[in-house]
Amino acid sequence: MIESAAPAKLTRNEGLKQASPTLAGTIAQTLTNPALDRFSDDDYEFLKFHGIYQQDDRDKRKVAKEYIFMVRGRLPGGVVSPDHYLVFDQLASTYGNNTLRITSRQGFQFHGVVKSGLGPLMKGINEALATTLAACGDVNRNVMAPPTPAMDSVVEHVQADARRVSDALLPQTPAYHQIWVEGQTLNLDDAAAKDFVDPLYGKVYLPRKFKAAFAIPPLNDVDVFTNCLGFVAIIERGELLGYNLLVGGGLGMSHGNIQTYPRLADVIGFLPPKHLIKVAQAVLTVHRDFGDRTNRKHARLKYVLEEKGVAWFRGELRERLGFDLEPARPFEFTRQGDLFGWHQQADGRHFLGLYVEAGRVKDTETIRLKSALRQITTEYRLEIRLTPSQNLLLINVPSSAREGINAILAENGITLNHQASLIRQTSMACPSMPTCGLGLAESERALPDILNRVEQELAAAGIPDEEIIVRITGCPNGCARSMMSEIGFVGRAPNKYQLYLGGNQSSTRLNRLYKESVKLEDIDAELRTLFTRFAKERTSAERFGDFCNRVVLPELEASHSVAPAANPA
Ligand code: SRM
Ligand code: SF4
């Protein structure tokens, strides 16, 4: 391992990792103590590496602080076997809030788990041979990959490569298995535990989270430029030649802190598949060795790239790999998003794209998606793929099963002819209230209302069938990648949002700040002005995001009301 120079004052998290390199903390002791309804502040940090967030129900804060847990599954490429799905469904009902939340990185989250249910939930997940290890924490997170199956063989090849990278970047701590599967109370003074050194991450892991994704042009469904590490498949005549390497993307920022900003990844070079793991590990170790361990807000790999530059990064990579990457090959993204309804796979079977509002798999009075999926999975044993836009696909469906699946969906209130409007199909929202401790405004719960307002104003402007990508986040961390949307709402305070405009359909351009603070009830008026101009002034077939980028934002820039984007594509 290449040692980094010791920084002056390390963050508190660095001290914690150093003191308990197995990441065990005192989790096992607290877990088995029924008198405690929460973990200590130190264990709160360790729990993340195990895929667990200690939260409290913000709706109930005024009465009393009620501790609940969010548990995140790690599912590379969003692949969920039927066995896994049925276990997750059951566990969500028994120990969670009876919902499964598809995440913007193709994972599943359980919300509202109380402490007494945490042990059985985690055991249940692991006994089904699934895991939550490294779904959070200062490590590599869930690796994304295009979920849409077998349109050609390359998709499955890329999916397999995503799993290989995921496995190769997994931390090796034995504590996860010992605590959650074996139920051991660990001896923290044990010298072996204190001296544990992860072969890849070392003793103190990464300075911050690390994210990786694979994309297959022309579809940028994973938002590949927003990842620390991106692999863009280069395909010729149906054959996967290798990948272009992208490094240094990330979206999180903080209100009022100009040292934090969203950034798109740089294109570094091309590599054949045989170097995939070596390159992935080398990129991760650059973050490990050069990320800022003195300031967690400045600790992402994107800041290393921004401050040290691409030439420096290539040199650092060469030193670790022992060879130069080839020059990047040409590629082009033209679109993002999911396919809905029935489609035929290359092998003759079918897949079905299902819209899931804000990724929340649940039963309501009218739409019983959770029940429908349980019945379909029980009867037909289909693989499920979670998409990066918080929707899901049922894949490898034989023709003979289509009618039965349609019937189950219809019985549960889901009509395939018109699952959701164009605005809804492309929308995303992060969870925010009541579970996220960082939320400043409603997001998932505000989504239907905000989308109604968008649709109402589009209709009023005479363009009701326009597709516009709308994303909402409850704060500027950007969990639903609001910075890549054509209209982005970013929570500022209760009922107040920043309004961002100008992303594009290929998700290769950051949007820009248009209004610093808009109240929910004032959104209609803001949109009315914009949509009316758009309907009149657009060039033929111009999208709303492109129109804003061409007309609205330059006008604002000219009046010095908006800062230029951090690094426009
Ligand atoms: Fe996120 C923190 C939810 C994708 C940037 N994110 C959080 C936490 C854990 C809040 C916390 O730290 O206490 C949220 C839990 C809320 C809850 O109740 O569930 C949370 N993030 C999510 C999910 C569930 C949003 C969703 O709508 O699906 C996504 C889980 C993905 C997964 O399966 O791993 C999720 N988060 C993202 C993304 C999008 C992506 O990765 O493609 C981003 C922007 C990209 C990036 O990382 O730059 C993102 N989340 C953040 C940040 C800002 C990080 C930064 O660099 O500043 C935080 C805050 C932090 O880490 O301190 C955060
Ligand atoms: Fe929470 Fe902010 Fe992420 Fe939304 S964007 S889930 S409010 S951290």
Per-residue pLDDT band for 192 (boundaries 50, 70, 90) equals confident
CB 336 within 8 A of CB 220: yes
Q: Are residues 451 and 554 in the same domain?
A: yes
Enumerate residues 6+ apart whose C-beta is below 8 A from 287: 206, 207, 208, 210, 228, 301, 304
pLDDT digits (tens, 9 = 90+) for 145-183: 999 986 667 999 999 999 999 999 999 999 999 999 998
Report whether pLDDT(1) > 50.
Answer: no
Number of domains in the chain: 4
Report whether pLDDT(567) > 50.
Answer: no
Q: Are residues 409 and 431 in the same domain?
A: no
Of 79 and 153, more confident: 79
For residue 74 and ligand 1, the question of a CB distance below 6 A is answered with no
Average of pLDDT values for 296-306? 98
pLDDT digits (tens, 9 = 90+) for 33-71: 999 999 999 999 999 999 999 999 999 999 999 999 999
Give, in order, the Cα–Cα distances in Å from 498 to each of 107, 255, 441: 27, 10, 11
Res 20: pLDDT: 93
pLDDT digits (tens, 9 = 90+) for 243-282: 999 999 999 999 999 999 999 999 999 999 999 999 999 9
Res 150: pLDDT: 64
Res 568: pLDDT: 40
Q: Considering the domain boundaries, does residue 190 fall inside one?
A: no
Q: Considering the domain boundaries, does residue 568 fall inside one?
A: no
Point out the ligand 2 atom lying closest to the alpha carbon of residue 480. 5
Q: Are residues 45 and 67 in the same domain?
A: yes
Report whether pLDDT(4) > 70.
Answer: no
CB 461 within 8 A of CB 531: yes
CATH of the domain at 285: 3.30.413.10
SS3 call for 69? strand
Report whether pLDDT(191) > 80.
Answer: no
Q: Considering the domain boundaries, does residue 210 fall inside one?
A: yes
Q: Are residues 80 and 221 in the same domain?
A: no
- 180 alpha carbon – ligand 2 mean position (Å): 27
Give the end of a domain, one of 319, 336, 353: 336
Q: Are residues 293 and 162 in the same domain?
A: yes
- The phi and psi torsions of 513 (rounded to 5 degrees) equal -70, 130
Domain of 402, in residue numbers? 341-419
Mutate to test the pocket of ligand 1, among 479, 490, 507, 510 (most ligand atoms within 8 A of CB): 479
Query: What average pLDDT is seen over the chain?
Result: 95
Q: Are residues 368 and 346 in the same domain?
A: yes
- The phi and psi torsions of 557 (rounded to 5 degrees) equal -60, -40
Point out the ligand 1 atom lying closest to the alpha carbon of residue 213. 42
Taking Cα atoms as reference points, which of 298, 205, 188 lies closest to residue 252? 298
Report whether pLDDT(478) > 60.
Answer: yes
Q: Considering the domain boundaries, does residue 391 fall inside one?
A: yes
Q: Are residues 151 and 272 in the same domain?
A: yes
SS3 call for 538? coil
Q: Are residues 222 and 323 in the same domain?
A: yes
pLDDT digits (tens, 9 = 90+) for 423-456: 999 999 999 999 999 999 999 999 999 999 999 9
CATH of the domain at 372: 3.90.480.10
Q: Considering the domain boundaries, does residue 565 fall inside one?
A: no
Q: Are residues 511 and 548 in the same domain?
A: yes
Q: Are residues 320 and 462 in the same domain?
A: no
Q: Considering the domain boundaries, does residue 217 fall inside one?
A: yes
Report whether pLDDT(561) > 60.
Answer: no
Q: Are residues 146 and 136 in the same domain?
A: no
For residue 431 and ligand 1, the question of a CB distance below 6 A is answered with yes
Q: Are residues 445 and 533 in the same domain?
A: yes
Res 569: pLDDT: 39
Q: Considering the domain boundaries, does residue 197 fall inside one?
A: no
Q: Taking the alpha carbons of 466, 467, 471, 472 in that order, is the dihedral positive or negative? A: positive
CATH of the domain at 99: 3.30.70.3340
Whole-model pTM: value is 0.96
Q: Considering the domain boundaries, does residue 198 fall inside one?
A: no
pLDDT digits (tens, 9 = 90+) for 122-136: 999 999 999 999 999
